[in-house]
Amino acid sequence: MKNLVIVESPTKARTLGQFLGPDYQILASMGHVRDLPKGEFGVDVDHNFEPKYVIPKNKMKMVNQLVKSTEGVKNLYLATDPDREGEAIAWNLLKVIEQKSKAKLASQKYERVVFHEITKDAVLDAFSHPREIDQNLVEAQQARRVLDRLVGYKLSPLLWKKVKSKLSAGRVQSVALRLVVDREREIEAFKSEEYWVIEVEVSGQSSATRDQVFVITLAKIGGKKAEVKNQKEADEAVTDLKAAQYTVESVSSKEVKKYPNPPFTTSTLQQRAANVLGFVPKRTMSVAQSLYENGLITYMRTDSVNLSPQAIAQTRKFIEEKYGKNYLPEKPRLYKVKSRLAQEAHEAIRPTSIKVTSDQLPVASSDEKKLYDLIWKRMVVCQMAEAVVNETAVEVIANSKQQTTDSKKYLLRANGQQIKFDGWYKVYAKAPITEQVLPDLEKGEPLDFKNVNPQQKFTEPPPRYTEATLIRDLEKNGIGRPSTYAPTISTLYDRLYIEKMEGKKIAPTPIGKTTVDFLMKYFSDIFDYSFTAEMEDDLDSIAQGNAEMPATMKKFWGPFEAKVEKVTEEADKMKVEVETTDEVCEKCGKPMVIRYGRFGKFLACSGFPDCKNTKALNSDTGMKCPDCKEGDVVTRRTKRGKTFWGCSNWPKCKFASWTKPKLPSSLPKDDSAASEKTSEGAETSDQA
């Protein structure tokens, strides 16, 4: 009679097998074994919102094999992930086994084991301290699933009727979309204003400073903040500054300590991976999952910045041995998150062994090495000594020779910074600050004028969201939880609510805007940022045992159901705006418009349904196709927003390339060598 251990994935099973030995059989459930049914509501709102669970057809064979494997085992261990979802998977596994097992499970010993890293010590410790399934965590996960079903299954059909077919609404998804749409509306309403920045190049007059030219920037005019708003004002200032005498008004210098960032949470890891590696959140979490299941990092779904004493001690020892004692702070660094809802019992994301660097990683994937390197470096620097930077500020007075009053007295400033001790900066190939060294100057010292550089600028609107900044604001507003960020953003792409723009920016599509307009017109209270955050608090209260699911659901359901019924009867159908183009339909002569389909944007005749002409929306590069020599090379996008290049004569010509082809004049004789054809095919609106 063996011990049976059930985990979620085969990779995790293989890693556990290295530590538990031959007395343990380890099987994978391949994720959830039960879920709410597709195609029906699946929640009994009249009986405490009881969910109706079913085993998906594609899981039935695997579930039966799992159940059969439990028969006659000595001990049954449920070793699913250490969060609410993992707890719910363990509970559902237990329920399925109880229902299907021939022998009563009560005669067997079954335990829940939890570990935040898959290392020998952590796993053996978890198996020596098993516990029961935490019903509060299970109920919290059920409440989240039921609430999402209540919102999705009531609002989605309403959107089909009032906006467009095949749309969806979600408790977190729709609020995330609202953030993107609100930002886009800010940008559209923004009115740019002209302003001027005036910089002056000067140098000292002594032999030591004469060759050190540095830049000072106009800061004040007549004792007030310099506001140069047009060409005339700029010209007046430039004329005065060219004729002025420059004198150092003050010099101040101070040493500033620059402290390292805390270790990664799910949110900060996704943001950093997006900014540095260009990973979308879904990709980050997939790579992190693989690293965790291979025993290389701690659990990757966490909102805590806690670190175990053992991990801190190991890291401090590594720092002292590799970098020296002066890079080690006197005491270990301890971090706390600002959110009162963070699960402090969890750990931050860190390597399971600080001795393993990315170049020693036993994995083949470059993505895994890149992400591991980010995690490893963040763990090391969070326990290192602070960097010390010398910051210098110089103020310079410019007195015009023709000046008779102080009303046009000019004050200019320069700021410099120089690293005195690199501290935690040493871990990175490039320091996160740019040094700017100013010459040694003294108060009252005259300066020589070299040049003046007036620069016309215009105020800019707030930037569009990137995936990283969207996650940042979701977390800041308490919308969703670490495990929801990646699937939420993926859903927005899949539903064509948002699209990828140039430079990692994301923008709402017309469908996204119209959906938000409809939801905010009729359900503004439910999709209010603060209401969504409060609902997250309620769900966390259930997890902490301070609230019960039926009462929480009832408080939400009554008013919500009544409002849905009222809106269904009274609301008018919304019209989705379409973007017109200068292109004319060759079949009927009407203008072509931009529409959105399964694979993104395409051109369609505005005369639809009378004229059903459509074509790909391409961006001409001005190059001829290197394969057929007839079509043009055009820029296209996959449904995920990735750019590639293809032939305008598709499907007649199959040319497609992930890299931009060279100009025809520089193509080699063998044209096929210049085209990096995609063996798997690009996911496009016209080539899928």
Reported as a single tens digit per residue, the pLDDT across 105-149 is: 544 578 999 999 999 999 999 999 999 999 999 999 999 999 999
Instruction: State how far the Cα of 592 lies from the Cα of 117, in Å rounded to an integer.
Output: 56
Is there a contact between 573 and 162 (Cβ–Cβ < 8 Å)?
yes
Are 231 and 300 within one domain? no
Residue 561: pLDDT band with limits 50, 70, 90? very high
H-helix or E-strand spanning residue 488: helix 485-494
Q: What is the mean pLDDT of the chain?
A: 87
- The pLDDT of residue 674: 30
Distances (CA, A) of 363 to 283, 323, 356: 17, 27, 12
Tokens of 631: 């079509």
**For residue 344, pLDDT beyond 60:** no
Q: To which residue do tokens 């940008």 refer?
A: 187
Which of 117, 133, 149 marks a domain boundary?
A: 133
- The pLDDT of residue 667: 36
Residue 604: pLDDT band with limits 50, 70, 90? confident
**Would residue 680 count as lying in a domain?**
no
Q: For residue 574, give the amino acid letter.
A: M
Q: What do you get for the CA distance between the two ends of the chain, in Å?
A: 52
Distances (CA, A) of 180 to 189, 337, 471: 14, 26, 11
Are 514 and 554 within one domain? yes
Q: Which of 395-409, 583-597, 603-617 has the lowest mean pLDDT?
A: 395-409
Q: Could you give the number of structural domains in the chain?
A: 5
CATH number at residue 288: 1.10.290.10
Which of 570, 603, 618 marks a domain boundary?
A: 570
Are 351 and 289 within one domain? yes
Instruction: State how far the Cα of 391 lies from the Cα of 416, in Å rounded to an integer.
Output: 6
Chain center to CA of 367: 16
Residue 165: pLDDT band with limits 50, 70, 90? confident
Residue 28's beta-bridge partner residues? Answer: 7
**Would residue 27 count as lying in a domain?**
yes
- Provide the 10 A C-beta neighbour count for residue 301: 24
Half-sphere exposure of 187 (CA within 13 A, CB side): 13
Is there a contact between 372 and 296 (Cβ–Cβ < 8 Å)?
yes
Residue 508's beta-bridge partner residues? Answer: 498
Reported as a single tens digit per residue, the pLDDT across 95-116 is: 998 887 755 554 457 899 999 9
629 vs 54, more confident: 54
Percentage of the chain exceeding pLDDT 90: 64
Instruction: State how far the Cα of 41 lies from the Cα of 554, in Å rounded to an integer.
Output: 16
Is there a contact between 95 and 126 (Cβ–Cβ < 8 Å)?
no
Instruction: State how far the Cα of 194 lies from the Cα of 198, in Å rounded to an integer.
Output: 13
**Would residue 221 count as lying in a domain?**
yes
Reported as a single tens digit per residue, the pLDDT across 444-465 is: 999 999 999 999 999 999 999 9
- Cα dihedral 167/173/178/180 (nearest 10): -100
Instruction: State how far the Cα of 214 lies from the Cα of 451, in Å rounded to an integer.
Output: 10
Q: Tell me whether residue 299 is one of the annotated catalytic residues.
A: yes
Closest by CA to 468, choosing from 476, 457, 460, is 476
651 vs 410, more confident: 410
Q: 3-state DSSP call for residue 634? A: strand
Distances (CA, A) of 254 to 266, 331, 426, 464: 36, 24, 22, 37
Are 652 and 598 within one domain? yes
3-state SS record for 617-629:
CCEEEEEECCCCC
CATH number at residue 124: 3.40.50.140
Are 149 and 78 within one domain? no
Q: Which of 292, 299, 327, 425 is catalytic?
A: 299
**Would residue 681 count as lying in a domain?**
no
- The pLDDT of residue 640: 54
Is there a contact between 263 and 269 (Cβ–Cβ < 8 Å)?
no
Q: What is the C-alpha R_g of the chain?
A: 31
Q: To which residue do tokens 């335990």 refer?
A: 111
- DSSP code of 131? B
- The pLDDT of residue 563: 94
**For residue 687, pLDDT beyond 70:** no
**Would residue 355 count as lying in a domain?**
yes
Tokens of 439: 């010459």
- The pLDDT of residue 100: 79
**For residue 596, pLDDT beyond 80:** no
Mean pLDDT of 278-290: 93
Chain center to CA of 636: 24
Are 362 and 285 within one domain? yes
CATH number at residue 532: 1.10.460.10
Reported as a single tens digit per residue, the pLDDT across 72-81 is: 888 899 999 9
Are 562 and 646 within one domain? no
**Would residue 688 count as lying in a domain?**
no
Phi and psi of 120, rounded to 5°?
-60, -50
**Would residue 640 count as lying in a domain?**
yes
Is there a contact between 561 and 555 (Cβ–Cβ < 8 Å)?
no
- The pLDDT of residue 437: 92
Reported as a single tens digit per residue, the pLDDT across 29-67 is: 998 999 999 888 999 999 999 999 999 999 999 999 999
- The pLDDT of residue 217: 97
Are 434 and 452 within one domain? yes
- DSSP code of 406? G
Tokens of 109: 């010993």
- For residue 639, give its domain range: 579-674
Tokens of 164: 């467009």
Are 21 and 54 within one domain? yes
Closest by CA to 139, choosing from 78, 98, 81, 87, is 87
Phi and psi of 389, rounded to 5°?
-120, 130
Reported as a single tens digit per residue, the pLDDT across 207-243 is: 888 889 999 999 999 889 999 999 999 999 999 999 9
**For residue 184, pLDDT beyond 60:** yes
**For residue 338, pLDDT beyond 80:** no
339 vs 410, more confident: 410
Instruction: State how far the Cα of 357 lies from the Cα of 372, in Å rounded to an integer.
Output: 8
Instruction: State how far the Cα of 676 lies from the Cα of 248, in Å rounded to an integer.
Output: 60
Are 513 and 595 within one domain? no
155 vs 625, more confident: 155
Which of 520, 539, 570 marks a domain boundary?
A: 570
Chain center to CA of 641: 16
Alpha helices (H) along 71-191:
84-100, 120-128, 135-162, 173-189
Is there a contact between 423 and 292 (Cβ–Cβ < 8 Å)?
no
Q: Which of 99-113, 174-188, 353-367 has the lowest mean pLDDT?
A: 99-113
- DSSP code of 98? H
Measured at the CA of 329, the angle between CA 325 and CA 330, to 5 degrees, comes to: 95
Mean pLDDT of 500-524: 91
- The pLDDT of residue 598: 61
- DSSP code of 614? E
Are 400 and 371 within one domain? no
**Would residue 684 count as lying in a domain?**
no
**For residue 673, pLDDT beyond 50:** no
Phi and psi of 190, rounded to 5°?
-70, 135
Are 479 and 548 within one domain? yes
Closest by CA to 676, choosing from 652, 658, 650, is 658
Is there a contact between 190 and 462 (Cβ–Cβ < 8 Å)?
yes
